Amino acid sequence: MARVISTIVAVVAIGAGFAITYVLRRVPEKPTLDIDRWWGIGSKPREEDVTIRIFSIDFNDTMIQDLKQRIKDKRPLTKPLEGVQSEYGINTIYLNEILYYWVEKYDFKGRAAMLNRFSHYKTRIQGLDIHFIRAKPKTKVNKVLPLLMMHGWPSSSKEFAKVIPLLTSRWQNYDFVFEIIAPDLPGFGFSEGTNKPGLNPVQIAIIMRNLMRRLGYDKYYIQAGDWGSQCGTHIATLFPDEVLGFHTNMPLSSRSISTYKLLLGSLFPRLVVDAQYVDRIYPLRKLMTYILREGGYFHIQATKPDTIGVALTDSPSGLAAYVIEKMAICSNRDQLDTPHGGIENLNLDDVLDTITILWANNAIVTSSRIYKEGFGNPEVNLVQNIPTSVPTAVINFKYEVLYQPDWILKDKFHNIVRSTTLDIGGHFAALQTPQKLVDDIFAATAEFLKYYDDKNK
């Protein structure tokens, strides 16, 4: 009798598993979206401004002097507890050293000039002034491939300053080179934010797609990380015929089936992921502990970004502490026992560029709102559950925020043509390991081209 009951239970369990898998694998219908939705102030005018204007970055003297004076006038910072480095958050002794450098040694004008080496433009897309870098190759090659590069929080197109010169130059044995279009997402960097609710990553994806069409590109490649990767994923999902290849350094499948497989994999982790990378995702208890420890900022920005924004808008010292601490963790989460907490994996001037751009444009609130708009949004959830067949290449750096093996990623990306996992680097790959990122972009694009060559034979 016991055997019969056990058999019945096993059959029911297996049947339930298949039923759950079937339900979770169901693909929803692609939504009908307004690709001209107006995000500007007021209502949409009869005629839109479609001009493309030259733009130059300027850290003006008034802003610089105000920033420096605010830092000099700050209240004394509370010192870390005895024996504590960065375990409680930013080490304020170390922070004071950075603030001193920012005031006394950071070259505001020189850094702006460095960024102005590139050609900068602005154009109005769906009511918002969008800033972008457009970098054309300086060497003659037969194949010039348009590449849309998108950053995440708290960055801007500045994040790509080290890789753009490499991507626009002849590289090794490749017979192609890139033309780079690197925009600031709406509300980030020098791009205008909206005064209307609802500008989630799906809607931003539409804006980015419309920017590319404004520039004359009907087909193009995409490279992106963080929120930019989410936007790039949505472009590949909604406009698959326009994306020739998608390269991401933060690959993520948010489909319901992927969550189920993540949990299932905890029972047999070595069947899910290569043995050498098991510790990047299992045991789940360790992963959840890390997320709980480091996810507080995410929860704040996904619920009440405007509140924390008041403090960060008013204090450059507070803004620096907040941004540096998160950039540090995402560059090396294993260095909490050091005063720098991981930030020394990045060049200090690069970090201060990011913070200065946030401060100069008063962009901390408008950029942080993407968490509120994107987290748990029904429109986003629906599009996330639709897979894409666009040729995709993924690269996983060691200290990326989350790691998913290809077994899970293929739920979303049905056509992964290249997958790379490295034992170095972190979330800000273009700043921390630019050469590795560029190597992989070229190699991935070669795979994209080969894919189409094979398909057309």
Tens digit of each residue's pLDDT (9 = 90 or more) over 315-340: 999 999 999 999 999 999 999 999 99
| Helix %, strand %, coil % of the chain (to 5) | 50, 15, 40
Q: Active-site residues: which are they?
A: 226, 371, 427
Please classify residue 90 by burial: count the beta carbons closer than 10 Å to its beta carbon, then call 0-12 exposed, 13-18 middle and 19+ buried. buried
Write out the DSSP string of 400-411. Answer: -S----HHHHTT
Unique residue bearing structure tokens 């789940």? 284
Closest CA to 253 of 150, 395, 380, 404: 404
The answer to whether 208 and 123 have CB atoms below 8 angstroms apart is no
> Residue 355: how many CB atoms within 10 A of its CB?
23
**pLDDT given at position 10:** 39
In this prediction, residue 20 carries a pLDDT of: 61
**Is the whole-model pTM more than 0.85?**
yes
Helix (H, G, I), strand (E, B) or coil at 327: helix
pLDDT band at residue 388 under the 50/70/90 scheme:
very high
Q: What are phi and psi of 416, to 5 degrees?
A: -80, 115
Q: What is the largest CA-CA distance in the chain?
A: 86
Euclidean distance between CA atoms 375 and 119, whole angstroms: 34
Per-residue pLDDT tens over the stretch 257-309: 999 999 999 998 887 898 899 999 999 999 999 999 999 999 999 999 999 99
d(CA 433, CA 347): 11
Of the pLDDT bands very low, low, confident and very high (cuts 50, 70, 90), residue 21 is low
- Identify any residues that bridge with 413 across adjacent strands, giving them in sequence order: 388
Q: Name the DSSP letter for residue 118.
A: S
The residues near 389 (Cβ < 8 Å, ≥ 6 apart) are 240, 414, 415
Domains with residue ranges and CATH for the chain: 52-456 (3.40.50.1820)
d(CA 247, CA 443): 10
